[in-house]
Amino acid sequence: MVRSKNLKVRNIRAAVLRKKGGPLKIETLSMEGPQDTEVLIRTVASGVCHTDISMVHHWEKADGPQVLGHEGAGIVELIGKKVKAVRPGDHVVLSYQSCGTCRPCKSGRPTRCRRFYELNFGFHRLDGSNALEPSGVHGHFFGQSSFSSHILATERNIVKVSKKLPLSILAPLGCGIQTGAGTVMNTLHVQRGASIAIFGTGAVGLAAVMAARIVHAYPIIGVDITPSRLKLALELGATHIINSRINDVASGINKIIAGGVDYVLEITGNHRMLQLAIEVIKKRGTAAFFTGDGVPDFVPKGKKAVAVIEGDSVPQLFIPKLIKLYLSGKFPFDRLLKLYNFKDINRAMKDSRNGKTIKPVLCIGNEKGQSGYGH
Ligand SMILES: [Zn+2]
Ligand SMILES: [Zn+2]
């Protein structure tokens, strides 16, 4: 691991993963930074995403201790010499990291960054160093590690937002919500009157349902096994719902729209649903799959399967757009959220895993004033 020189070290409080399956424990750590291109943010809130939970359950000893969290929001405390986009006191929402110099980044497609995997799952900075090295803990998850009192980010993965909106509401926009809405609006460009089925009505799926309503898709079919989520899908824009535990999905969709749907979003990761997604799209239809879940081995000629990353969203463009839609009442994503105290992080993860909570948000610091953690 590369060690940065001559950087200030401060104490932070962060939830550390040291054991497969958790629990995460809140510890005091030493953090070095910010570097010239970095922004030090005092965390106010962080969403909990399924990727965080999956990391906890796939952790191995060789991974070493980690700080997870990648839907942070907070207040800028310090900026490096080369930072221009924000100033201390600005409110920011954090998103995924990208390098900014590869061809996809240069052409405005940061989700296709050649270093995407490394920068979001590699637990280090662009230069290979790690700000939590003095404590022997790995940080920089998605260029943030937001389960922490402080975050080090760069201009590339922060979005300046209005101070009028609570950061605890805005936090989850940076991953799950932008992924669901972005898949409908940026990846698939779903048009008015196009038919769409959404397999899995968790946070990503419900964001997709709301986006499908905004673009006037029809029908919008929500598929899930949890009645409470299906009910919410109906309230947020689904025109039809199918409980896949009770009903056959393929015949259910065929009854609603003969010949299949134009689009399917497969968010469950369930093997049977993966194949079904391809089956229920009509000829020339597209099925969208999400990173980690893979794409089915066999896709018949004429049908299309796409692997989606973060809904092909450019955070600095798409997050302000989602906030605007939220303020106009068309995108009430706040209905998916439940707030938890930071110390209850393990309960928040459990509630998300068993479907009790759609999108947990951890309240980590105060919206105003100091965090109270030492520097
Ligand atoms: Zn790049
Ligand atoms: Zn995520």
What pLDDT is attached to residue 4?
Answer: 55
According to DSSP, the residues that pair with 287 across neighbouring strands are 264, 305
List CB-based neighbours of ion ligand 1 within 5 Å. 98-99, 102, 105, 113
CA 302 to ligand 2 centroid distance, Å: 31
More confident residue, 76 or 2: 76
Q: What percent of the chain has pLDDT over 70?
A: 96
Ligand number nearest CA of 156 is 1
pLDDT of 38 above 90: yes
What is the whole-number distance in angstroms between the Cα of residue 355 and the centre of ligand 2?
Answer: 16
pLDDT band of residue 271 (cuts 50, 70, 90) is confident
Count, residues in the chain: 375
Over range 306-329, report the average pLDDT: 97
pTM of the shown model: 0.95
pLDDT at 184 over 50: yes
pLDDT confidence tier of residue 198, bands split at 50, 70 and 90: very high
Cα(268)–Cα(50) distance, rounded to whole angstroms?
Answer: 11
Q: Where are the beta strands (DSSP E) in 19-165?
A: 25-32, 38-47, 72-79, 91-94, 150-154, 158-161
Cα 181 to ligand 2 centre (Å): 13
Cα of 85 vs centre of ligand 1, distance in Å, is 19
pLDDT for the residue numbered 373? 43
Three-state SS for 248? coil
Taken in order of first residue, the domains within the chain and their CATH numbers are: 9-174+332-363 (3.90.180.10), 177-311 (3.40.50.720)
Angle between helices 345-353 and 50-57 (to 10 degrees): 100
Task: Please name the residues in contact with 194: beta carbons below 8 A apart, sequence gap of 6 or more.
Answer: 215, 217, 218, 262, 263
Which ligand has the shortest distance to the CA of 96?
2
**Residue 372 reports pLDDT greater than 50:** no
Q: How far apart are CA 134 and CA 10, in angstroms?
A: 10
- Which pLDDT value is given to residue 296? 79
Taking CA 345 as the corner, what is the angle to CA 344 and CA 349, rounded to the nearest 5 degrees?
120
Read off the pLDDT of each residue in 256-269 and give the average, rounded to a whole number. 96
Position 295 scores a pLDDT of: 76
Q: Which residues fall within 8 angstroms of residue 354, CB to CB, at 6 or more apart?
A: none
In this structure, of 73-77, 135-139, 329-333, 364-368, the range with the lowest mean pLDDT score is 364-368
What value does the mean pLDDT of the chain take?
A: 95
Residue 84 buriedness (CB in 10 A; 0-12 / 13-18 / 19+): exposed
Residue 43 DSSP SS3: strand
Q: How far is the CA of 32 from the centre of ligand 1 (A)?
A: 24
Confidence of residue 258 (pLDDT cuts 50, 70, 90): very high
In the prediction, which pLDDT does 374 show?
37
- End-to-end, the C-alpha distance of the chain in Å comes to 24
302: left (phi over 0), alpha (psi -120 to 50) or beta: left
Residue 306 has pLDDT above 60, yes or no: yes
Mean pLDDT over 12-24 rounds to 98
